Amino acid sequence: MSSKLFPTFLWLDDNFTNIICTFAHRMKPMIIEDNFLDFEPFEEDGSVLLAAETSWRGFADELLELHYLKGAQFIRQLKLIINSGEFYPIAGENEIFSAIGEKCDDLDNLLNAARKAVEHGYRVYILPNPKSCRTADFIFEKKGILGLYDLKTVYGKGSVGTQLLDSIGQTNRVLLNMQSDYNARLLAADIKTYFESNLDALEVLIFKGKKVLPVNRIQVQSPDFNRVFRKRYEK
């Protein structure tokens, strides 16, 4: 660096110096805040992240919070919920935990789907409905992976499309528990419409007898989806 620059620096007036100091002072809190966010402590458990210190606010608030979270924060919230201490194991059942009363009108329907989920390797947490917001029915856990599912039990032969669209706003994963001989071609069309209508949709999980058929967006976008799905469903 040339020595000629130093005299120039010495000639700077007090006003310019004050501007530089003020700018540095205003930048300092931003740098501290960024560093704080980068190093916020988390505890890792498999694929799930949990905040080191998180207080439980009750189901109504914690379930509502899920509507505003995505990605790792969403999974962290699911982890908080299942570890809240609010769930109890259902007598006579394996890997099924509930936070609803035994007098719930929909309990038999929920248990029917939950038992099938357990047969396919899931641990099931049955969620309450606090009425303050639209909520899902289950949290499924399998090999450390968590998912939030809204249950739709299918009894008729033409209602899946309406049921799938009704789930929008509750969760991005839907469980279809098939209790009828639903037409495979119609079902494929209903699922495709659901993914097209809900850009946040992640999965439609289908229980049919002893089979489990997961369908995701990538599969639906394939030009061969209808043919491949029908083959899997009717097999």
pLDDT recorded at residue 30: 31
- 139 strand-pairing partners: 125, 148
183-218 confidence digits (pLDDT tens): 999 999 999 999 999 999 999 999 999 999 999 999
Mean pLDDT in residue range 75-87: 96
Q: Which of 14-18, 124-128, 139-143, 149-153 has the lowest mean pLDDT?
A: 14-18
Asked whether residue 203 is assigned to any structural domain, the reply reads yes
pLDDT band at 148 (very low <50, low <70, confident <90, very high): very high
Q: Coil, strand, or helix at residue 30?
A: helix
To which H or E segment does residue 225 belong? helix 225-234
Asked whether residue 67 is assigned to any structural domain, the reply reads no
pLDDT band at 37 (very low <50, low <70, confident <90, very high): very low
Asked whether residue 15 is assigned to any structural domain, the reply reads no
Cα gap 130→61, rounded to integer Å: 9
CB distance 163 to 157 below 8 Å: no
Residue count of the chain? 235
Asked whether residue 122 is assigned to any structural domain, the reply reads yes
- 213 strand-pairing partners: 206
Helix (DSSP H) and strand (DSSP E) numbers for the chain: 9, 10
Residue 11 has pLDDT above 80, yes or no: no
Q: What own/partner pairs with CB < 8 Å and gap ≥ 24 does 106-109 have? A: 109/151, 109/153
Question: What's the domain range around 131?
Answer: 89-234
pTM: 0.76
- 208 strand-pairing partners: 178, 211
Position with higher pLDDT, 96 vs 17: 96
- 48 strand-pairing partners: 45
A 10 A CB-CB count for 200 gives 11
Eight-class DSSP state of 12? -
Residue 13 has pLDDT above 60, yes or no: no
pLDDT recorded at residue 208: 96
Asked whether residue 42 is assigned to any structural domain, the reply reads no
Torsions phi, psi for 99 (to 5 deg): -120, 20
Percent of the chain at pLDDT exceeding 90: 69
Eight-class DSSP state of 200? T
Residue 130 has pLDDT above 90, yes or no: no
CB distance 154 to 180 below 8 Å: yes
CB distance 149 to 171 below 8 Å: yes
Q: Look over the chain and give the mean of its residue pLDDT values, rounded to a whole number.
A: 82
- 49 strand-pairing partners: 44
Residue 8 has pLDDT above 60, yes or no: no
CATH label of the domain that carries residue 145: 3.40.1350.120
* Dihedral in degrees, nearest 10, Cα atoms 64, 69, 71, 74: -30
Residue 42 has pLDDT above 80, yes or no: no
pLDDT recorded at residue 101: 83
Asked whether residue 70 is assigned to any structural domain, the reply reads no
Residue 19 has pLDDT above 50, yes or no: no
What's the domain count of the chain? 1
84-126 confidence digits (pLDDT tens): 999 999 999 999 999 998 888 899 999 999 999 999 999 999 9
